[in-house]
Amino acid sequence: MKTLSLKIPEKLDRRIAYEVARRRIRKSVLVREALEQHLAGEPVAGTPASFIDLAGDLLGKRTGPADLSTNPDYMKGFGR
């Protein structure tokens, strides 16, 4: 197995230390898992997914005005 050394910010080191203690594994195991998941395109466990990741299958399923968020005509009376 090859050795890799790198510099990381303090905040990331604290997050790694927390996860290592929680899961009772070694840092090298955690970093290897995270790299493998990232390079495979899989979401890393515990990382919140974006809205598009969660609702991507729903996009484009409904129709409506294309300019809803930019057309001031649709905002008339809003908030009254």
- Domain edges within the chain: 1-60
DSSP state of 66: T
Amino acid at 18: Y
Cα(32)–Cα(3) distance, integer angstroms: 11
Amino acid at 35: L
Cα(23)–Cα(41) distance, integer angstroms: 22
Cα(12)–Cα(15) distance, integer angstroms: 5
Residue found by looking up tokens 């899989």 in the block: 42
pLDDT tens for each residue of the chain, 80 residues long: 899 999 999 999 999 999 999 999 999 999 999 999 888 886 666 667 788 878 888 877 777 777 767 777 777 777 77
